[in-house]
Structure 1
Amino acid sequence: MKIVPARTDDFAEILVVWEKSVRATHHFLSEEDIESFKPLILSEFLPAVALFCLKDDSDRIHGFLGTSEENIEMLFLDPNSRGKGYGRMLLDFAIKDLSASSVDVNEQNPEALGFYEHMGFVVAARSPVDGMGKPFAILHMRLAHI
């Protein structure tokens, strides 16, 4: 497995990974929510971050990571690639190579919350709505040792 900078021609496959991941973990989102996010992911969110893919030897994307400054803006894994240490690989890369020290997590996503807590993050603040004003509470987390 290798972590490489994403290219725009990776975006379609990244969107597939994003949608599979969201459907497996973001049970609080409606079908309408997911469909409304998809074009925004492609046109606004992916181009706005330093974006990296976790690829296997055949260049299949198993997960991806996006950061802005010291914040992890997105970290998603294909559900079939979970439990193999790939999330840890991406997170370690974000912390060590990109100086990431904070992440925002949907409060209604207990698996992600548990993952980040296990990796040394603590909740520093809570917002009752997400960045788009939708009623999905966000937990603002930071590395505990910083």
Structure 2
Amino acid sequence: MNIRHSRPEDGQRVVEIWRKAVDATHDFLSAQDRQEIDELACGFLPQASLWLAVDETDYPLAFMLIDEGHMQALFVDPDSRGTGVGKALVLHGLSLHPTMTTDVNEQNGQAVGFYEKMGFKRIGHSPVDDQGKPYPLIHLQYQA
């Protein structure tokens, strides 16, 4: 496995990873909210500057978006969960930003557990997500 920056030709695969990961982990989203987020993601992700975890054939398995020390997104293809690709991306992010922060949906218990196991600590809570939707967020920061 390698970690590299995304390229324009990765766009379709990145959207596919996002959709598969959301379908596997975000069952708390309403159908309407899921559709609205999908439209935003399809417009944004293909041209975003992402870090990708790729296999030996350069096939993307997961992606991460970091903006000024805040991890905006980490999505792993469900077929690659448990293989260490998510952990590798987070460790890469921490090598660039040692006190990296992130937000995680409170309803996504698997993600909350993953980040806490990685050493992230709860530093806050919001009753709604960044779009004002009723999906509470837990604010986390890495603490060595």
Which category describes the TM-score, using the shorter chain as reference length? over 0.9
Deviation, 1:100, is 5.5
- TM-score (norm: length of structure 2): 0.92
The total of aligned residue pairs comes to: 144
Deviations along 1:72-102, whole A, 9 cap, x unmatched?
Answer: 0000100010111111101000101344511
Question: How far apart are the structure 2 equivalents of 1:142 and 1:46?
Answer: 27
Which residue is equivalent to 2:124?
125
Question: How far apart are the structure 1 equivalents of 2:26 and 2:97?
Answer: 26
Q: What is the correspondence of 1:100-139 to structure 2 with a 5 Å cutoff?
A: 101-139=100-138
Instruction: Quickly say closer, same or farther: Cα 1:144–1:65, change in 2 above 3 A.
Output: same
Q: CA RMSD for the aligned pairs?
A: 1.6
Conserved in 2, the CA contact under 8 Å of 1:72 and 1:100?
no
Unaligned runs of 5+ in 1: none
Question: How far apart are the structure 1 equivalents of 2:96 and 2:142?
Answer: 15
Which residue identity is paired with 1:8?
Answer: P
Which residue is equivalent to 1:7?
7
Which residue identity is paired with 1:133?
Answer: G
Unaligned runs of 5+ in 2: none
- TM-score (norm: length of structure 1): 0.91
